[in-house]
């Protein structure tokens, strides 16, 4: 398979942004993937010997394939955000017609049909569970439902849980059955950070319910006045990765952070994971610090432990799909649960990686997510579902198969958080306020009066300390006080020049006196 031209610059675009996310078996590629060890905060530019892999494009021209489930007869189900569940046959061809189309799905930006899971006793109880966005009056919500599987369709929907707060961003949506045969559900804060600390809200939580939607008697907040009994843990921003370590049955989750501060957490019942009061590596009494945090952001969208025969050296490793990181991470943990090694696979080769799942035969399946506004607006041939297995001795000589030797990733080793105000703005502020300060997920910064900062000193206080109740983290844990002051002075000058009666210059003088180009 030829590498799409539109994907080659993705890694460079990502690096620049961090310094300013149906067919049958169409093609397959054999290549030597990069295995790039890196620090969670400063990726190291280094290439180690890879291994020949066969990558099959199971389906393409999709729209945000979100989650995968493997049927016991060898077929595969996956969701598409617009409300479809698709079926892959045992010969790895995609069935033309969906097995389910949700009539009332609310699908826009990053909300829609998301997680899918199979009943743990599927042979006797053939139920398929989904998490789907819907509209309730003027409110956006997520509903957990289950359907009966007939062998070729999902029918007889039952609502198990509804009214979960949602937004076009930060809506969680991952489903996973635990070793206890209970259903675990991730929910986001719905772009309203106080939800995460509010025990009367289902937003910003890990939830746990029985297969029929009832509440397990040993849930940590069962019987507590004012608390929702479905809650398993709280203080989460937007967790979307969820799995159980095979040897220990410990629950691990991955979570999208604010400006960096993405997390991997061992998740325990009743524990507060801090959002929005703390983020990154900051600690507070009664709030759990993350096992690992990533700055700049990698946007960890899924997490699964490898267990299978095809890649024995990956046994027990955590595989993480990365949207902004545009890669799959392999995380090796010690027996005590600490991070030991971190490798970055397929950097920028397939764009934004949403789902990583391990099939019963040990193959690794990935889905891409190139329709994720505002970070990504599509690419030719996308989205895709991919299947990865070790390459056979004759694969390189078969028609339609090529051998590709990847070059080392070009992500700078010392990219960090930037050294000038415009670089720091790009890393810390642009994802919410826009690369040109025009507004994105949050308001524009130019040409309007500010309500949170009426002086340069107030702006420094906001940058350094954040606005926790609005979900804006402080930058002081990430950059030193002088860096915060330089950023405040640079932003204040641009803001003042943009107001009526003033013109925005093509270049400005930041506090340190070095001229910065406009982006």
- Mind listing the pLDDT tens digit for each residue in 424-478? 787 778 767 888 888 766 788 988 888 888 898 988 888 877 776 666 766 765 6
Per-residue model confidence as pLDDT tens digits over 93-126: 999 999 999 999 999 999 999 999 999 999 999 9
Which tokens hold the place of 446? 């130019």
In this structure, which topology does domain 421-498 adopt according to CATH?
A: Cytochrome Bc1 Complex; Chain D, domain 2 (1.10.760)
**Distances 351 to 189, 196, 366, 416, 456 between C-alpha atoms, Å:** 26, 30, 11, 21, 39
* Rounded CA separation 419/19 (Å): 9
Q: Which two tokens stand for residue 210?
A: 């029985």
Contacts for 387 with CB less than 8 Å, ≥ 6 apart: 55, 56, 58, 92, 359, 363, 364, 365
CA distance 169 to 375: 12
Q: What mean pLDDT do residues 485-489 have? A: 90
Q: State the average pLDDT over residues 399-407.
A: 39
**Averaging pLDDT over each range in 178-182, 349-353, 460-464, which range is the top one?**
178-182
Of the candidates 483, 484, 485, 508, the one whose C-alpha atom is nearest the C-alpha of residue 495 is: 508
**Closest to 80 in 3D by CA, of 359, 385, 298:** 385
Element (H, E) at 37: strand 35-37
Q: Which of 233-237, 252-256, 282-286, 382-386 has the lowest mean pLDDT?
A: 282-286
Encode pLDDT of 222-281 as tens digits.
Answer: 999 999 999 999 999 999 999 999 999 999 999 999 878 899 999 999 999 999 998 887
Average pLDDT over residues 291-318: 93
Higher pLDDT, 12 or 385: 385
* Choice between 399 and 450, residue whose per-residue pLDDT is larger: 450
In order of 294, 427, 481, 485, the CA distances from 420 in angstroms are 21, 11, 13, 11
61 against 453, higher pLDDT: 61
Residue 246: cis peptide before it, omega within 30 degrees of 0: no
Most confident of 332-346, 407-421, 437-451: 332-346
Instruction: State the Cα–Cα distance between residues 470 and 404, nearest whole angstrom.
Output: 46
In this predicted structure, the answer to whether residue 509 has a pLDDT above a threshold of 60 is no
DSSP 362-431: S-EEEEE--EETTTEE--TT-S-EEEEEEPPTTGGGSTT--EEEPPPP---TT-TT-SSHHHHHHHHTHH
- By the 10 Å C-beta count (0-12 exposed, 13-18 middle, 19+ buried), 212 is classed as exposed
Global pTM reads: 0.77
Return the top range by mean pLDDT from 7-21, 77-91, 372-386, 447-461. Answer: 77-91
In this prediction, residue 412 carries a pLDDT of 32
Q: Domain extents for the chain?
A: 44-406, 421-498
Place of tokens 């990053």: 110
Instruction: Assess whether pLDDT exceeds 50 at residue 497.
Output: yes
* Among candidate residues 277, 88, 247, 105, the one with its CA nearest the CA of residue 179: 247
Q: What is the pLDDT of residue 4?
A: 36
Residue whose entry in the numeric block shows the structure tokens 């080659």: 8
Contact 496, 490 (CB under 8 A): no
Which superfamily is assigned to 44-406 in CATH?
TolB, C-terminal domain (2.120.10.30)
């Amino acid at each position: 398979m030829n590498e799409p031209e539109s994907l080659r610059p993705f890694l460079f675009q990502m690096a620049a942004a961090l310094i300013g996310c149906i067919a049958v078996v169409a093609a397959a590629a054999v290549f030597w993937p990069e295995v790039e060890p890196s620090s969670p905060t400063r990726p190291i530019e280094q290439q180690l010997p890879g291994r020949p892999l066969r990558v099959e494009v199971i389906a393409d021209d999709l729209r945000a394939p979100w989650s995968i489930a493997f049927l016991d007869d060898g077929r595969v189900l996956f969701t598409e955000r617009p409300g479809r569940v698709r079926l892959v046959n045992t010969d790895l061809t995609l069935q033309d017609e969906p097995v389910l189309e949700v009539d009332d799905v609310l699908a826009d930006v990053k909300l829609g049909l998301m997680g899918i899971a199979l009943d743990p006793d599927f042979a006797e109880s053939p139920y398929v569970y989904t998490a789907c966005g819907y509209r309730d009056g003027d409110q956006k919500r997520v509903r957990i439902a289950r359907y009966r599987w007939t062998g070729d369709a999902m029918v007889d929907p039952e609502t198990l849980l509804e009214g979960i707060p949602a937004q076009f961003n930060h809506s969680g949506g991952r489903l996973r059955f635990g070793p206890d045969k209970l259903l675990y559900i991730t929910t986001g804060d719905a772009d309203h950070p106080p939800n995460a600390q509010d025990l009367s809200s289902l937003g910003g939580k890990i939830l746990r319910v029985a297969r029929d939607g009832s509440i397990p008697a040993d849930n940590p907040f069962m019987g507590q006045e004012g608390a929702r009994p479905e809650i398993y843990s709280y203080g989460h921003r937007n967790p979307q990765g969820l799995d159980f370590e095979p040897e220990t049955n410990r629950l691990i989750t991955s979570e999208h952070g604010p400006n960096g501060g993405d997390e991997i957490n061992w998740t325990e019942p009743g524990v507060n994971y801090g959002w929005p009061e703390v983020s990154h590596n900051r600690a507070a009494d009664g709030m759990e610090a993350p096992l690992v945090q990533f700055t700049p952001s990698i946007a960890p969208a899924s997490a699964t432990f490898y267990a299978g025969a095809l890649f024995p050296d990956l046994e027990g490793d955590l595989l993480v799909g990365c949207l902004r990181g545009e890669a799959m991470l392999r995380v090796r943990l010690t027996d005590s649960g600490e991070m030991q090694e971190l490798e970055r696979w397929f950097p920028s080769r397939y764009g934004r990686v949403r789902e990583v799942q391990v099939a019963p035969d040990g193959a690794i399946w990935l889905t891409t997510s190139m329709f994720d506004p505002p970070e990504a607006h599509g690419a030719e041939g996308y989205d895709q579902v991919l299947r990865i297995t070790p390459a056979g001795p004759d694969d390189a000589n078969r028609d339609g198969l090529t051998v590709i030797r990847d070059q080392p990733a070009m992500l700078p080793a010392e990219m960090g958080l930037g050294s000038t105000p415009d670089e720091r703005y790009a890393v810390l502020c642009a994802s919410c306020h826009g690369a040109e300060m025009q507004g994105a997920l949050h308001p524009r910064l130019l040409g309007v009066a500010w309500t949170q900062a009426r002086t340069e000193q107030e702006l420094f206080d906001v940058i350094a300390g954040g606005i926790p109740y609005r979900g804006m983290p402080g930058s002081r844990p990430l950059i030193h006080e002088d860096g915060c002051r330089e950023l405040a002075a640079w932003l204040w000058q641009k803001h003042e020049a943009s107001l009526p009666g003033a013109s925005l210059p093509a270049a400005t003088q930041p506090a340190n006196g070095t001229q910065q180009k406009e982006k």
